[in-house]
Each structure stands twice: as C-alpha cells, then as structure tokens.
Amino acid sequence: MLRCLVPPPAVRPREDRDHTDRIALSAATTDGAHMRTEDVRAWIDERREANVFHVEHIPFADLDQWGFQGGTGNLVHSSGRFFAIEGLHVVEHDGPHGDGPYREWQQPVIKQPEVGILGILAKEFDGVLHFLMQAKMEPGNPNLVQLSPTVQATRSNYTKAHGGSNVKMIEYFAPPDPDRVIVDVLQAEQGSWFFRKSNRNMIVETVDDVPQGDDFRWLTLGQIAELMYEDETINMNSRSVLSCLPYHDPAPGAVLSDVQLLSWFTNERSRHDVRAARIPLKDVRGWKQGAEAIEHEEGRYFKVLAVAVKGSNREKISWTQPLLESVGLGVVAFLVREIDGVRHVLVHARVDGGFVDTVELAPTLQCTPHNYAHLPEESRPPFLDEIMSVPRSRILYEAIHSEEGGRFLNVRARYLAVEAGDTVDPPPGYAWVTPAQLTALTRHGHYVNVEARTLLACINALTAQPRGGA
C-alpha cells in the first residue's frame, strides 16, 4: 500500500497531465510499491557484500594501458579514449569586484571530451511515478556502493571501448523515445577539476515490464528525499539528474524577476575576462610528480593518484586508472532567507577555469577550508567563517555527500542549507533567488553548477520531506 503525505491530484488523461503534478505526488509518497525506505540501507549493504569490490593505490608505473605521454607528460590511455590528465593555465582579468585571492594559476585538469549519459528510468506503479535506482560501485566512493542513476556511462563505456559487457538499459537513453522524455539537458561537471566536461542528464519514462535485477530498485521521489538526509547514499550523478525535475513553484514572488535574474547573470558573465588554456602536464608550475602521486608543492587542493580496481558487477570487472583525491573535507552551503514570505537562497556567480562559459551559478559557499587556512580573513571566501561557526539551530539541512566516484577518490563535502544571519544586501557577485528559479534554470545547460544542483536536490527534498525546524 502506498502512503501519501498529500491527497493525489485529480486524475486526467495521460496526454493532458502536467509532469509537475505527477512529480509532486511522487515526492509526497514515502512508501514505494516495491521497497520500504527503511529497507534500502540493508539492500545497499547486501549488494556491497554480494559483490567483490577492491580498490588499492598503485604506483603510476603499474597502470595498465595508461602512461605519461612523451613530449607533453600528459597521463593518457593507450586507446586515446576515456579521459586524460593534462595541465591548465588560467588567467583572470577581472571586473571591478574580484573573486578570490588568485588571478593566475596552473594545475592538473581532467580532459574528457566525451559526453556521458546519466539516465534515470521512470515508471508509474499504482499511479505514482517511481525511479529506477542502481546500487553501483564506483572506485572513488568512500563506501564504494551508492545509489546511482539507472544508466551512468561514458561514450567509451556504452560503445564498449574497454572491451567489457553491454551497459544495461542503455537502449532507453541512446536515443530516447521523444514522447517519453521528462528531463534531457547537458549539464557541466566540476569546473575546478574538469576542462569543459558535460554529461547528458536524462529522465525517461517507460511502460515496459523492466526486469530490475539484483542491483536495481524502483523508488519514489519521497523515498529518495528521505535518503538524501543520509550521508553518502545518493551519488553525485543521481543528485544532478534529480535536480532537473520540474517542480511546482510553491510560493511565487521572487525578489528578482526572471528577466532581472538573467540580466544580472549575463552581466556577471560579461564582466569576467577569463583565459583558460590547456598546457602540457609536465609544464605545470607549483606541482610535483612522484612515483605514486602528482601533488601541489604546499600540500593543498588535490592529488593525482593511480588505483587498481575490482568490481564484479561492473561492465569490466578489473581495471586500473588515475583518480583525483582531495586534501580535505569540503563545505558547500546555501544561505537561506525568507523575503516577503518566500524562501530564497543566496547564489554566487562563480568563476572556474574549466567552465564552458566562464561563470555558473554556485552555492553561497563552495570550498575546502584547508586550502584557505593560511590566508588572512579578507582573502578567504565570503561567508566562510560565518557558515563554519553557525549554530545548529540555524541549520535546515545537513549531510555529507561524496563527489563522482569514477574520477575522484574520497572527495567529500559537508552540504548545508543555513538560515541567513544579518546578511541583507548581497555583496557583488551574489544574488537572492528562489529554488524555483534555480530549478527552471536547470532545464538549460551551463547555468547552475554541479554543487548547486546537489544542494537544489537537497532543498527540494527538504521541501518535500520537512524535518526539524524546516
């Protein structure tokens, strides 16, 4: 029996029904047709135990089919596919309001020109949309197995460049039935670690009798919302895709109109002059390369490592690859304020060297505090000290989430939604927007960055499943 928090909307013919009504009903349904929410954790643990998963650090010399390219020193795969570790040189000639303490820097960066598919299959059971989630092993996840999209695959994966097995259910997404698409948009990955990388975020509905298999379960949005409160359970790709769902605007009345918001954002993009150029990895200044790591000379930011992986439920059961490892726990936070009775979040027009279009909308705070500990207060990110010392009474949402485990090793951040203190007028580069406005912008690529999309998915969960003081 499905349990709903609100009465279902009036049933209308299929062709006339608005997706937002169906999404609202799914978000309000906390008991799924196939699995209780309280049983999901045990199922994930069971899948972890049922498969062979092993990840170990190895020297670069032990990488199979990977190596440092002559001339450039770039770390590449022998096939020329998958991705490469190259160098990046960024110079920012800024407008009147600078962002951050640095105007020029060099770093290693992931270059992955392929557009991957992140696809979630949806289907109605007892009139309620459910979403097919996969208990998927990724080598960089701290707990190895998290809930991923139905399909999470690079082009190299689903064209079998690695020589592995077929990607299950890829036929629903490549290409999709246009009459069954709920979400289909290109979204950028981390602009600080990828160079102009995008993935296709998709939700496609089916009426087929889909054999779910041991590693897949149908869950409602209400169930996923509850799981969003648990640490390291919903993976980054799932959070990104789910943030793009079209929700109702529960309280229209934004302090900036849509036209004003887009004008402000266009101005932010226009005032930044950022030159980002790929350079040979061997020429990157300020970084050192050893037998087992490429790392910053002062121990900040991240490291490039090599790992050997075994995963018995993957398309290829064993392989080696490079991964990026962060040097500390990140903090990603939205300050939240009600303005004239309408919830707003404070967004930052953030510059990253790897963005396609210079600036994307980011959370109020997005950083690894360790990287700024040596700097004076005026050179640290705005709101860092306020958010790091916020009392628990002001925290509306909190969970630790890890980033994409196929490229990053143990990269974790504390995600927060925090009631704003005395901040009234946003500083340059910041603006108060509603979650509904951000949700509308996720329907288009390269507006909302991946960290903000995670927090948007969390805030939508907060709205669907309010807890505590929310």
157 annotated among ligand-binding-site residues: yes
129, 164, 200, 202, 395 from 119: Cα distances, Å: 15, 20, 8, 5, 32
405 annotated among ligand-binding-site residues: yes
Nearest to 272 by CA among 378, 355, 163, 377: 355
Cα separation, 314 vs 312, in Å, equals 6
213 annotated among ligand-binding-site residues: no
366 annotated among ligand-binding-site residues: yes
158 annotated among ligand-binding-site residues: yes
Cα separation, 16 vs 148, in Å, equals 31
Cα separation, 187 vs 440, in Å, equals 13
104 annotated among ligand-binding-site residues: no
237 annotated among ligand-binding-site residues: yes
406 annotated among ligand-binding-site residues: yes
Number of alpha carbons in the 13 Å side-chain half-sphere of residue 299:
4
155 annotated among ligand-binding-site residues: yes
368 annotated among ligand-binding-site residues: yes
Phi first, then psi, for residue 352 (nearest 5°) are -135, 145
Known binding residues for dTDP-4-dehydro-6-deoxy-alpha-D-glucose are 66, 154-158, 192, 237, 287, 350, 366-368, 371-372, 404-407
Known binding residues are 66, 154-158, 192, 237, 287, 350, 366-368, 371-372, 404-407
